[in-house]
Amino acid sequence: MPTKTGRNDPCPCGSGKKYKYCCLSSASVANDEFQNLIAGQDFNSLEELQAEANNFMQQRNQQPHDDFQGLSSEQVHRMLHFPFDTPEFYNFPEKLRTEPEAPILTLIQWIANATDEKGLKATAKGNLPQKLCKEAFVDYRKYLPENDFHHRMKINREDDFVDLHACRSRILMRPLEDRHGEVLGRLGIQQRCRVPLLVRDDRPARRHPRTGVFATDGSNPSTTT
């Protein structure tokens, strides 16, 4: 059963204003108009009365409003809540003019390209090589706004580069072990991440036989310290 709109509740018309500051007075007017409409009419059931009320409100909701730039309440409601189903107001292109970019993907690609079937040689502390961190950082900053704090940072090791560390520790990398469980001092791709990654240029891609990662031929960053 529909609940009554409170005075301080958001207005049902979708304006974003409180009900008491928006359509409360209009609702009172509509109530008076409906009472005048049904005065003297006989209805055989509540269903007939409800149908008359629904028809009355539908006509009111389709009337243009100056506050909505000539649009009706029904049109504004559809614009706010069903934008993809309102082609008369919104036009969404099927193909974007530019390919969306997520800077974090550049870091994932750097790590993937630097990792071959034998893994990536780690530092003594088990981190990514310093050269890889510095080169990835320079590339990463190209995709960030000029006022981003990363442009004022200096990177000497993985711990200085939080975003890269997140990629390595939570997304891609794990220490490799031999068959006896001994750590080999190299980092490998996690099993769940052994899927094709986006290639950022037009050069042909090759797939590592063990990691399952696609990398661009000749584009590998340094894999040594």
Give the three-class secondary structure for 86. coil
d(CA 68, CA 17) in angstroms, rounded, equals 13
Parts of the chain with a pLDDT under 50? 1, 196-225
d(CA 207, CA 213) in angstroms, rounded, equals 5
d(CA 50, CA 77) in angstroms, rounded, equals 22
Give the three-class secondary structure for 56. helix
Residue 68: predicted pLDDT: 85
Residue 191: predicted pLDDT: 66
- Whether the model pTM is above 0.75: no
Residue 133: predicted pLDDT: 92
What is the total residue count of the chain?
Answer: 225
The CA-CA-CA angle for residues 168, 119, 154, to 5°, reads 40
Give tens-digit pLDDT for 137-152: 999 998 888 898 888 8
Residue 130: predicted pLDDT: 92
CA atoms within 13 A on the CB side of 141: 16
Contact 157, 168 (CB under 8 A): no
Residue 171: predicted pLDDT: 67
